[in-house]
Amino acid sequence: MRLGEIAILWLAPLLVCGCAQPPLPQSASPLVEKGAVLRYIFVPGQRTRYVLRSGFSSQTPGAPDAVISVSQEVEITQTILASLPAGGARVGLVVDRFKAVTSTPGQPSVEFDSGEDPEGTHCPTELRGMAALVGKDVEVLQYATGEVQAVAGLAAIYRQAANHLSPTELQSLEHFLRELSHKPRGLFGLGVSFPREAVAAGRQWISDRGPFPIFCGQQVYRCRYELRDLSGEMASIEFTDDSGEAKESTESTWKPLWTTRVHGAISFDTEKGLLSQMRGESTTYLQVAGKMELRSKTAWELSLLNEGSLTTDSTARSSGENATKK
């Protein structure tokens, strides 16, 4: 499989946007007797820095040695621009730095670091989408339950990139941005869906929206969450999904063409109302000669960049409050 096919895997449909919700409390509720009401807390001006690391590999069916691999590292700053009456917030996201290494059989490895190449001059075409986000302002609307409704700022990124990218590179970027506009939750996997009611350890809930980064490259239609533990201020949550599957009809039976399995764990700070860490892994199997063979595998980890990553900017707070009044 050619390196160019990676983009198709990354940009496979991931998530489905949520629908409008009634007002929710802006802050997280304390632990109650029956469990906890899990909520994001949005403080205008608050900035949180994350790092998202991932490793992706794909192999050609019938050729186990023909493996393509991609490793990525994305540094992200999240800023709460303004809180909204409906229990949500306008959230700004900026990619501070993007690094990647790609490896293809029979070809030398390709490395990219936006810190050394801020214009993305030597960035492979397949990575143009993420590289184009470096240093650009993207804004999403997020509710206290984690639902992400909209994303703004992508059109400006496209217009700026159109001035210096080739038609082929621009087409790759356009595809990437279009996917983000339809599935804003998949930007970095920062959104986790919480139920409206209190949950206790061992309780499960299902959402058609999973916390999967867009480059995860899997078709995920439903996610099953389970609150595993409430230790002090930290909630430990596991998530799984095995509903991604395609089948074909053969006479009177249906046979799977491919199937996807996803699982991972989340740490959520109930006092601060923010995602502390997430680890996940997804695998896709493809039917070859009557049996299922490994097609691709992705592992990722999202974590706070450092303990000092949570700050409050008085200037951002003021601008956020002013924006809310307008």
Residue 116 placed within a domain: yes
pLDDT tens-digit series, residues 155-180? 888 888 888 888 887 887 887 788 77
What pLDDT score does 111 carry? 92
Q: How confident is the model at residue 101 (pLDDT cuts 50, 70, 90)?
A: very high
- The whole-angstrom distance between residue 127's C-alpha and the CA centroid of its chain comes to 16
Q: How confident is the model at residue 308 (pLDDT cuts 50, 70, 90)?
A: very low
Question: Who has greater pLDDT, 219 or 108?
Answer: 108
Compute the mean pLDDT over every residue in the chain, rounded to the nearest whole number: 76
Over residues 275-299, mean pLDDT:
83
Partners of 101 in beta bridges: 71, 111
Strand boundaries in the chain, DSSP class E:
46-60, 63-83, 88-103, 110-113, 138-143, 148-152, 204-207, 223-231, 234-241, 245-250, 253-269, 274-288, 291-304, 311-312
> Taking a C-beta distance cutoff of 8 angstroms, is the pair 194, 38 a contact?
yes
What pLDDT score does 94 carry? 92
Q: How confident is the model at residue 241 (pLDDT cuts 50, 70, 90)?
A: confident
Residue 175 placed within a domain: yes
DSSP secondary structure string, 134-173?
A: BT--EEEEEETTS-EEEEESHHHHHHHHTTT--HHHHHHH
Partners of 275 in beta bridges: 268
Which residues have a Cβ under 8 Å from the Cβ of 36 and sit 6 or more positions away?
28, 29, 30, 198, 199, 200, 227, 230, 235, 270
| Domain count across the chain | 1
Residue 313 placed within a domain: no
What pLDDT score does 104 carry? 85
**Ordered alpha helix ranges (H), the chain:** 6-10, 128-131, 154-161, 167-182, 314-325
Residue 310 placed within a domain: no
What pLDDT score does 253 carry? 54
Residue 49 has pLDDT above 50, yes or no: yes
Question: pLDDT > 90: what percent of the chain?
Answer: 29
What pLDDT score does 73 carry? 93
> Taking a C-beta distance cutoff of 8 angstroms, is the pair 201, 230 a contact?
yes
Residue 315 has pLDDT above 70, yes or no: no
C-alpha distances in angstroms, 299 versus 55, 153, 193, 239, 302?
5, 28, 20, 14, 11
Kindly state the tokens that stand for 253: 């039976």
Amino acid making up residue 34 = K
Question: Who has greater pLDDT, 312 or 301?
Answer: 301
Which residues have a Cβ under 8 Å from the Cβ of 324 and sit 6 or more positions away?
44, 82, 83, 84
Amino acid making up residue 176 = F
Residue 311 placed within a domain: no
Residue 120 placed within a domain: yes
Q: How confident is the model at residue 244 (pLDDT cuts 50, 70, 90)?
A: low
Residue 224 and residue 215: Cα distance in Å, rounded? 20
Most confident residue range from 49-63, 70-84, 127-141, 299-313? 70-84
Question: Who has greater pLDDT, 301 or 249?
Answer: 301
pLDDT tens-digit series, residues 142-154? 999 988 877 888 8
Q: How confident is the model at residue 80 (pLDDT cuts 50, 70, 90)?
A: very high
Kindly state the tokens that stand for 94: 């900026």
Which residues have a Cβ under 8 Å from the Cβ of 108 and sit 6 or more positions away?
none
Q: Could you report how far apart the first and last alpha carbons of the chain are, in Å?
A: 52
Of 37-41, 195-199, 219-223, 265-269, the poorest mean pLDDT is in 219-223
Backbone angles phi, psi at 235, to 5 degrees: -105, 130
CATH of the domain at 103: 2.30.230
Residue 63 placed within a domain: yes
Domain that holds residue 266: 3-27+35-304
pLDDT tens-digit series, residues 124-141? 877 888 888 899 999 999
Amino acid making up residue 9 = L
Most confident residue range from 87-101, 112-126, 241-255, 288-302? 87-101
Q: How confident is the model at residue 100 (pLDDT cuts 50, 70, 90)?
A: very high
Residue 325 placed within a domain: no
